[in-house]
Structure 1
Amino acid sequence: MTSPAPVFWRGVHHLALVTDDMDATVRFWHGVLDARLVTTIATDAFRHYFFEVAPGMSVAFFEYRDQPIETYAKPAGVPYERAAQFDHLSLGLADEEALLRLRDRLKSFDCEVTDVVDHGIMRSIYFTDPNGIALEASWWTDDATGRPADHADQRFFSDPDPVPAVQELIADGRVRTTPRTQLVDEVTKDLYKPPATD
């Protein structure tokens, strides 16, 4: 077997998480963390909003419509049986050629992979790792990161009924209110407390 072409990764394209309140999510990620909202996508089934954490890289959230999601809070690094906030990880590639090369590489290793899916602002392929973790490889066909956001640009802000926080960004260029958050201590009890001294 000939060695498949190498993959030239460009970091994490986006990490896809799940929220049951997209408005609060926008207010926190854009308003508190200063991770600019760069793209909104909406279908009849979900909203999918992207926040820039570095040029070419984003953290994205799904808010499913008419689908109750049981929420919870979990501290980092502590096992928890209900941990289901994660949706998928998308790794970044440079262009269509790199995407096709990776798709062919996965097939050469007898791994199932989708055909290229055109999302308008990005193109992607989907596959899983041996643990069943949903993975995506994507390249921005029109990169929304690394430039000023134009909230009126329908290429990037295509949700026809955006949450109130996005309406505030369109009107004022900022969110008017942000949510308060707190550490989780019920599961870990004393994990975050400093050790006792003798």
Structure 2
Amino acid sequence: MATDSVPWRGVHHLALVTADMDATVRFWHGVLDARLVTTLAIPAFRHYFFEVAPGNTIAFFEFTDQPIESFAKPAGVPYPKASQFDHLSLHLPDEDALNRMRDRLKAHGCEVTDVIDHGFLRSIYFSDPNGIALEASWWTIDPTGRPVDYGDERLFADADPVPAVRELRDHGRLERTVATRLVDGIIEDLGREGITVERSTG
């Protein structure tokens, strides 16, 4: 197993889908003040990027002549059509910024919850024009950028954690990792571009 640390610098971009890029720009750039920083387009789609922090963006695809079945769901509520995605939370620095974002959303006519206290973070919840469940949060106890204490019950409150967490708590490392596979469609797309991908047989 590799032991070198990975120099993560945040989320480069999270790619979501919209059926109305114009409305998406008006909400993300206009309401949320997430600057539109770059766009690209080919006949098959548009792809627009909105800055949420230096180097960190939320990106949207708008596919050409491809109807998509949209839905809206609240955060934290299971829904079969969203089995791999629940909601996106954007980071704010403190309670004042959270309250100002809540006021900003209301001023633009957007529905938004009261501030919810989750203990180690506080949040508000709202949706974008595509029905994507959004959250804005700030850490009341920031667990990032410092050594992790897996015994800190303020942050690790699951009384019966999964085995991987017990391994980290008890030994400071994972006993094993998991392997993944590329989706066949990616292999096919790369093949059309003349790129060969070596697939694992293990």
Give the structure-1-normalised TM-score: 0.57
Partner residue in 2 for 1:144: 143
CA-to-aligned-CA distance 1:126-184 (integer Å, 9 cap, x gap) = 00001100000000001000000000000111111100000000110011011111111
Aligned with 2:87: secondary structure? strand
Aligned with 2:183: secondary structure? coil
Greater RCO (CA < 8 Å, at least 6 residues apart): 1
Unaligned stretches of 5+ residues in structure 2: 15-60, 70-80, 196-202
Quote how far apart the aligned CAs of 1:108 are: 1.0
Quote how far apart the aligned CAs of 1:193 are: 2.4
Letter of the 1:146 partner, please give it. G
Aligned with 1:190: secondary structure? helix
Looking at secondary structure, tell me which structure has more helix per residue.
Answer: 2
Aligned with 2:167: secondary structure? helix
Letter of the 1:120 partner, please give it. G
Quote how far apart the aligned CAs of 1:86 are: 1.1
Aligned with 1:177: secondary structure? coil
Partner residue in 2 for 1:132: 131
Larger Rg: 2
Aligned counterpart for 2:188 among listed residues 190, 193, 196: 190
CA distance in 1, matches of 2:171, 2:179: 21
Instruction: Tell me: CA distance 1:162–1:34, structure 2 relative to 1, closer, same or farther (3 Å).
Output: farther
Letter of the 2:159 partner, please give it. P
Letter of the 1:172 partner, please give it. H
Partner residue in 2 for 1:177: 176
Q: CA RMSD in A?
A: 3.3
8 A contact 1:32–1:178 mirrored in 2: no
Quote how far apart the aligned CAs of 1:109 are: 1.1
Aligned residues: 130
Partner residue in 1 for 2:153: 154
CA-to-aligned-CA distance 1:68-107 (integer Å, 9 cap, x gap) = xxxxxxxxx8999866411111001010000001101111
Give the structure-2-normalised TM-score: 0.56
Quote how far apart the aligned CAs of 1:120 are: 0.4
